[in-house]
Amino acid sequence: MTKIPNRIYLTEDEMPTYYYNLRADMPDKPDPLLDPDTGAAVTVEDLHPIFCDALARQELDNKTPQIDIPEEVQAFYKKYRPSPLCRAYSLEKYLDTPAKIYYKFEGNNTSGSHKLNSAVAQVYYAKEEGVRRLTTETGAGQWGTALSEACAHFGLDLTVFMVKCSYEQKPFRKAIMETFKSRVVPSPSDTTAVGRQILAAHPGTSGSLGCAIAEAVEEAVQSEDTRYVLGSVLNQVVLHQSIVGLECEQAFAKIDDYPDTVIGCAGGGSNLGGIIAPFVRDKLQGKHQTDILAVEPASCPSMTRGRYAYDFCDTGHVTPLAKMYTVGADYMPAASHAGGLRFHGMSPIVSKLYHDGHMRAKSYRQTEIFEAAVLFAKLETILPAPESAHAIKAAIDEALYCKESGEAKTILFGLTGTGYFDMTAYAAYTNGTMTDYVPTDAELAVALEKLPLVPGQA
């Protein structure tokens, strides 16, 4: 029997030429976005002040299964894609497990993450429509870096509202964004009305993705030549990230295998929704019964302890309402080192799949995930981002379950990015100063009690 290589690569010609829209194959679609003032379903025209037209249409398209990737976007992708599907032989040996562990490595670009897949697409569509400037938020800094790269390539200006705790923990992320000529603002800030409101209500807050989104949206709607773009949560972002799952599907076909378990870290849902897309399709169509597992931080447990309800996507309550698993838009997560997962809600697509029983979820404390990250780095030579380490921890646990049961399952997880700008976090773990924070039920209840009143929602 031929040994499976450590890395399975597709050729450029084998790279997907379309995005896969999972919603088209979902028998029960995610609930529509709602206008918070009228309660009516949001239309494409309603989204035009925030998004460019092509992205607004992708956001609301529940029917088209395949959407062509523009040739200019494909050309950019070929600078760093296709990305490899890797076999974690050393990790398997260390765990003494019969399981086969694979990971899709998305860190081979300057942003160090999967975020560039959607950044390139969103900036391309914006430029095509004559947009000159974009605003966005970033948590860990991967999305802000990716968007800075894409804007520099296509010649658009960019303002990034960076979650304050990450802004302070990761100064070199800010430096990279500024290298690409982006403006970086710690959020919440006093540069926007909503930022000043949040600061007044939560003095000294370390911020959240919800805060940063609110500021970025406010700045975008104040100028006709400016639009807002988001790195996670939205349907359009999950759509663009489907290229990750489609490449996995093709790579597994090359080695005549198929994953029994697919694992992704879960913050807003972009990485998770992207890697699971073709495997959920097969599950919905009855072709395979793959176990889909979402992994989130215990400090911001939207799926494992949140509520499935309509909520704002931002802390400033300026966005449409989305039906999702949420711990409340007003919830201020602890200043954990997995900044990209510090979002109060989950993608409507992922939330609907979870609610309907097509996947499961679990959470971990940050000391647990850093223990897994360090082990992985020692064995597989890649220092993972704290966000990715959530998926690593879950993959290790699943492999150990296989050791107990004797099952030789095929496990796939998304290694969404590298942790080379997270050395403050790694230093805190290695010197023993890292702590865990898990909110009490009472703390979560405070924000959940403020969920917007929507007819039919308890």
> Tens digits of per-residue pLDDT, 34-68?
999 899 999 999 999 889 999 999 999 999 999 99
**Based on the number of CB atoms within 10 Å of its own CB, is 82 exposed (0-12), middle (13-18) or buried (19 or more)?**
buried
Sign of CA dihedral 229, 272, 456, 452: negative
Backbone angles phi, psi at 226, to 5 degrees: -120, 140
Weakest mean pLDDT among 227-231, 259-263, 382-386: 227-231
Position 444 scores a pLDDT of: 95
Residue 342 in this model has a pLDDT that exceeds 70: no
In the structure, what pLDDT confidence band is assigned to residue 235 with cuts at 50, 70 and 90? very high
Residue 385 in this model has a pLDDT that exceeds 60: yes
> Which pairs count as long-range contacts for 428-432, CB under 8 Å and 24+ apart, including other chains?
428/337, 429/367, 429/370, 429/371, 429/374, 430/374
3-state secondary structure of 113: strand
In the structure, what pLDDT confidence band is assigned to residue 340 with cuts at 50, 70 and 90? low
183-193 average pLDDT score:
94
Domains of the chain are: 7-18+72-112+234-449 (3.40.50.1100), 132-224 (3.40.50.1100)
98-110 average pLDDT score:
96
Position 269 scores a pLDDT of: 94
pTM to 2 decimal places: 0.94
Q: Which contiguous run of DSSP H or E holds residue 147?
A: helix 142-154
196-205 average pLDDT score:
90
Residue 207 in this model has a pLDDT that exceeds 90: no
Q: Work out the angle at residue 113's Cα, subtended by the Cα atoms of residues 290 and 55, and round it to the nearest 5 degrees.
A: 80
* β-bridge mates for residue 312, sequence order: 321
2-19 average pLDDT score:
95
Residue 427 in this model has a pLDDT that exceeds 60: yes
327-345 average pLDDT score:
75
In the structure, what pLDDT confidence band is assigned to residue 431 with cuts at 50, 70 and 90? very high
Q: Alpha-carbon distance 164 to 186, whole Å?
A: 5
**C-beta of residue 142 within 8 angstroms of C-beta of residue 340:** yes
**C-beta of residue 99 within 8 angstroms of C-beta of residue 398:** yes
160-176 average pLDDT score:
90
Cα distances from 255 to residues 4, 8, 240, in angstroms, run 7, 8, 25
Q: Cβ contacts of residue 243 below 8 Å, gap of 6+?
A: 15, 16, 19, 69, 77, 81, 117, 274
151-155 average pLDDT score:
97
Average pLDDT score, the chain: 94
Q: Give percent of the chain with pLDDT exceeding 90.
A: 81
Residue 54 CB neighbours (<10 A): 18
14-34 average pLDDT score:
97
Q: Alpha-carbon distance 309 to 182, whole Å?
A: 35
